[in-house]
Amino acid sequence: MIDKINTLLEEVKAFEAKTMEEAEVFRVRMLSKKGAIPALFQEFKSVPPADRKAVGQQLNQLKQAATEKVNTIKTRLETEASSRQPGKKRPDLTMPANFSPIGSRHPLSVIRNRINNIFEKIGFVISEGPEIEDDWHNFSALNFPEDHPARDMQDTFFVEKDPDIALRTHTSSVQVRVMETQQPPIRTISPGRVFRNEAISARAHCIFHQVEGLYIDQDVSFADMKQCLLYFAREMFGEKTQIRLRPSFFPFTEPSAEMDVSCSLCDSKGCSICKYSGWIEIMGCGMVDPNVLENCGIDSKQYTGYAFGMGIERIAMIIYHIKDLRMFFENDLRFLRQFESAM
Residues that bind ligand PHE (CB under 6 A): 170, 172, 212, 250, 253, 256, 284-286, 307-309
Min dist CB 200 to ligand PHE, Å, is 18
The torsion angle over the Cα atoms of residues 234, 240, 241 and 244, rounded to 10 degrees, is 120
Query: Minimum distance between the CB of residue 246 and ligand PHE, rounded to whole angstroms?
Result: 13
Mode of pairing for the β-strands spanning 125-126 and 186-195: parallel
The distance of closest approach from Cβ of residue 318 to ligand PHE in the complex, given in angstroms and rounded to an integer, is 17
Q: How far apart are CA 325 and CA 169, in angstroms?
A: 18
Q: What is the largest CA-CA distance in the chain?
A: 113
Q: Determine the Cα–Cα distance for residues 221 and 255; give it in Å rounded to an integer.
A: 11
Nearest-angstrom CA–CA distance, 188 and 108: 20
Residue 61: phi and psi, rounded to 5, are -60, -45
Judging by DSSP bridges, how do beta strands 243-250 and 158-160 pair with one another?
Answer: unpaired
Task: Give the shortest CB-175-to-ligand PHE separation in angstroms.
Answer: 8
Looking at the Cβ atoms of 81 and 153, the one nearer to ligand PHE is 153
CB of 236 closer than 8 Å to CB of 113: no
Q: Which is nearer to ligand PHE, 70 or 287 (CB)?
A: 287
Rounded-to-integer distance, Cα 227 and Cα 235, Å: 12
Choose between 110 and 288: whose C-beta lies nearer to ligand PHE: 288
Task: Pick the closer one to ligand PHE by CB: 307 or 317.
Answer: 307
C-beta closer to ligand PHE: residue 17 or 184: 184
Q: How far is the CB of 113 from ligand PHE (least distance, A)?
A: 20
Beta strands in 143-278 (DSSP E): 158-160, 165-167, 186-195, 207-217, 243-250, 253-262
Q: How many residues does the chain have?
A: 343
Identity of the residue, 104 or 248, whose beta carbon is nearer to ligand PHE in the bound complex = 248
CB of 338 to ligand PHE, least distance (A): 29
